[in-house]
Structure 1
Amino acid sequence: MTGYVLFRKDKLGRRGGGVILYIKESIQAYEIKLEKEAECEEAAWSNIVTGNSTLTVGLVYQSPNISIEENEKIHNAIREVSKRDGIIMGDCNNGHIQWTSLQSTGREDQEFLNLVQDSFLSQHVLEATRGENVLDIVLSSQKEFVDNVKICEPLGCSDLNQIHFIIKVKG
């Protein structure tokens, strides 16, 4: 896309899959690698320079049929990023979490909810993004980093709604 820098992580050994993170060219950003235990197959990470500070921004995809090992890596990545100023976005397929009441049904969903709470992250997507489920996340290490979250119609032939929001950081 013209005017944007592309950060991507392709699935290895397979056609299709992976994640793409676009950041405007006018924003100073560079790709980063996380610790080995947190290096995920379907996650892209970037640091955005904002004046005298840095904001880590990441995009993750947690497939419904994810392996136990890859799921643990995504959880490790979320733990690592939660220790810095950061925003984590993505599709985590945890459709049985009630984010407004912080309740869940199902073991995997409860593990993810515990991870978010134990990492002191704020979830900003509180409305359904596919059918009646909240499958998408916008997590931040500081609640004030994310503002004006809007759930919009799906883009193209996607079955997931778009999420629009503003990232607020000091310049």
Structure 2
Amino acid sequence: MDEEPKESLWVRIKGRAGAGDIIAGVCYRPPDQGDGADEALYRQIGAASRSQALVLMGDFNHPDICWRDNTAEHKQSRKFLECVNDNFLLQVIEDPTRRGAMLDLILTNKEGLVGDVKLKGSLGCSDHEMVEFGILRAARRARSKLTTLDFRRADFGLFRDLLGRIPWDKALEGRGAQDSWLIFKGHLLQA
């Protein structure tokens, strides 16, 4: 039987003419949530990430995820990380939100949409930090100096063909890990 996520709420914030709508989601994922409910949540996230602008926040209860290295110890956390990556979402909180762990997250599909993120201490008897942030629209667009690729518009058939033409055995022969990575990265970016 297909479980539904226990606690999530999704709203559409109507934008001004030409500005587009924002999909905002709030989610609580219990630490003992089953695989069926996780899969249903991932389907919801996938559908919402196709919107022009998404802000998803909540307590996802994956303390073993290292967002800096994009790694996780447990299978459920790796599946969540895979969902985040497959939907090209950015996680914008940088500091732990509960007892040294980063359980509370803000995910977005548009760089510069979320800004001014601050942890504001706990409220009442909660052991989670309050997270304050702004959703930035036309008034202040953050400009990133990082170049990012838009994989949503990619021709993966051509991409696979271009990378398949490279004689990898010869290109990487006798190279160390760092040199091999730089060669692979160069061919990847060129393709």
Q: Same fold (TM over 0.5)?
A: yes
Matched residues in 2 for 1:38 and 1:61: separation? Answer: 15
TM-score (norm 1): 0.74
In structure 1, the residue matched to 2:39 is 72
In structure 2, the residue matched to 1:137 is 105
Distance 1:65 1:39, change over 3 A: closer
- Code of the residue aligned with 1:140 in structure 2: it is T
Deviation at 1:68, TM superposition (A): 2.1
Matched residues in 2 for 1:164 and 1:38: separation? Answer: 31
Distance 1:137 1:168, change over 3 A: same
In structure 1, the residue matched to 2:122 is 154
- Code of the residue aligned with 2:35 in structure 1: it is I
Matched residues in 1 for 2:34 and 2:75: separation? Answer: 15
Aligned residues: 135
What are the ranges of 5 or more consecutive residues in structure 2 without an aligned counterpart? 140-191
1:25-104 matches, within 5 Å, as 40-52=5-17, 53-84=20-51, 85-104=53-72
Matched residues in 2 for 1:156 and 1:74: separation? Answer: 29
Matched residues in 2 for 1:94 and 1:45: separation? Answer: 21
Q: Secondary structure at the match of 2:120?
A: strand
Q: CA-atom RMSD, angstroms?
A: 1.7
In structure 2, the residue matched to 1:105 is 73
Deviation at 1:145, TM superposition (A): 0.6
Q: Secondary structure at the match of 2:124?
A: coil
In structure 1, the residue matched to 2:82 is 114
Answer 1 or 2: which has greater helix percent. Answer: 2
Matched residues in 1 for 2:135 and 2:70: separation? Answer: 23
TM-score (norm 2): 0.67
Deviation at 1:111, TM superposition (A): 1.0
Answer 1 or 2: which has greater strand percent. Answer: 1
Matched residues in 1 for 2:11 and 2:64: separation? Answer: 29
* Contact 2:119/2:132, CA 8 A, preserved across alignment: yes
In structure 2, the residue matched to 1:28 is none
Distance 1:50 1:39, change over 3 A: farther
Q: Secondary structure at the match of 2:98?
A: coil
Q: Secondary structure at the match of 1:149?
A: strand
* Contact 1:40/1:77, CA 8 A, preserved across alignment: no
Q: Which runs of 4+ in 1 moved over 2 A?
A: 37-41
Matched residues in 2 for 1:38 and 1:86: separation? Answer: 24
Query: What percent identity do the matched residue pairs reach?
Result: 28
Superposed CA deviations along residues 86-124 of structure 1, whole A, max 9, x for unmatched, are 110110001111112212211111111111111100001
* Contact 1:38/1:80, CA 8 A, preserved across alignment: no
Deviation at 1:39, TM superposition (A): 5.9
